[in-house]
Structure 1
């Protein structure tokens, strides 16, 4: 195969980080990789993600690409993803970002990363996953009146230990658990906690990041019945000396922000408590979307 292949690599993401509901996210070292092959008469998507995922232009990645550039010539593409579906690690966002990047590449559209964030947010509805998937690292973003503002910062060097339960949780189901309204006083506190968390992350203030990450007033309490392991893991985190434990996205994955030296200990203790899901040790992915030829 002398022909040069284009490879599109999109990282998994973890959103909310506790109080940053729908606006904070971080890119992590687990990837969806899309390899662009030769031109064909029809789109062909090779993958081993299961029979439910289409292998033609009905695939979400191709649909997204054609939404941006309807006249793209069909190609054969290969998708490999380590990101589990419907677990709160941004699997649908990575598909959207990969599709936009595919259209940008094949259609020679010349769209920069900031504009990609805007387009991806319009498709996804909020920027908490798509922004870090594109920009990398820690991103605070908001989507108001159709405009996305996203600010990338540098998250301190810590490991993110994902506890991935062996069941899926659809975002829609997790959203249904949320309250219709929040008392004004609670909303003010919830917002201020999120603001202080962003400031603490951007200034590398580890002493404050942990408690603030665990002080969410927006969604975690309402979702506890769907993710009973959150409280167990948070309590264990306090015992083992993790920085913070939070619900990743809509769950059911729970993320433990922890120093690498404590990871093995934490996993051993969690398994002793009877938690049967799998653990993945991830690092902050600083680059975000990469398209290489």
Structure 2
């Protein structure tokens, strides 16, 4: 087996009102270098005491097992720009890395649609899995057997993320949501989501940002869990952003802004919120990639 590297982008789920069905791939990355080995090794920035209990390895073994194969020992080296439990799809990226690891090493010949189904089964919904796998903006929904999706590329807007020090577990963010929605609320919330998609497709990013901020599915309930929620929305708008939303389940927030204005907005917001890690990011257009590595 020749050494290879798996690269998986971060993702921002929901994109405002596209609850559990819409996501953006972002150019923050998890990379996993893979080499043959006589025994398991896992190298990362922090110590890994039991390699075979690492989340990526467990997913890879599960994927291999589901196809009647067994994963051999490997030397793995992981690097990641994606912060954990911040609403930037760290778990989805790790799941995809694990599935692709098994796919490559065990010659499973999985298609992208196969990986999407398997990843969604593990993650529970496709809004992070799909964009990290395909790249761009992906609108998707799961049916009994299949996951239908539409990929949108070439969005001409800047993106700013506001990453706080604190973590927020997805389970906690889900627990504040209602079990059901009244029919009139669900209809209005769906209409808002439709308007976001339509405006993005037309390139009307100002209107998209306005509609993103009107979500009824999750943001009204999660706002209390997000540090500086109202302040970030207000200050970003004052500095020229089109709209600001919770990234995934949070606590990171995300603004869309006019093309070429993002860096100035990020710098101004960093002065207002010095305790945050504020940066501009771009939409990743490639999704998951696998690259053969040459021997040194």
Q: TM-score, normalised by structure 1?
A: 0.93
- Alpha carbons 1:154, 1:202 under 8 Å: kept: no
Residue of structure 2 equivalent to 1:217? 216
Residue of structure 1 equivalent to 2:30? 32
Kindly state the Cα deviation for residue 202 of structure 1 after the two structures are TM-superposed: 2.5
The equivalences for 1:84-233 within 5 A come to 84-233=83-232
Q: Which stretch of the first structure deviates more once superposed, 196-205 or 15-24?
A: 196-205
Q: Which runs of 5+ in 1 are unaligned?
A: none
Q: How many residues align?
A: 288
Q: Deviations over 1:130-150 (max 9, x none)?
A: 000000000000012242111
Q: TM-score, normalised by structure 2?
A: 0.92
Q: Deviations over 1:91-129 (max 9, x none)?
A: 010000000010110011111112111110011100000
- Alpha carbons 1:46, 1:55 under 8 Å: kept: no
Q: Which runs of 5+ in 2 are unaligned?
A: none
Q: Deviations over 1:139-174 (max 9, x none)?
A: 000012242111111251222111000000000111
- Distance in 2 (CA, whole Å) between partners of 1:54 and 1:253 is 30
Q: Which stretch of the first structure deviates more once superposed, 206-215 or 159-168?
A: 206-215
Cα RMSD (Å) of the superposition?
1.7
- Alpha carbons 1:8, 1:291 under 8 Å: kept: yes
- Distance in 2 (CA, whole Å) between partners of 1:27 and 1:120 is 15
The equivalences for 1:39-78 within 5 A come to 39-41=37-39, 43-48=40-45, 50-51=46-47, 55-70=50-65, 71-78=70-77
- Distance in 2 (CA, whole Å) between partners of 1:134 and 1:7 is 15
Kindly state the Cα deviation for residue 272 of structure 1 after the two structures are TM-superposed: 4.1
Runs of 4+ in 1 over 4 A off after TM superposition: none
- Alpha carbons 1:22, 1:126 under 8 Å: kept: yes
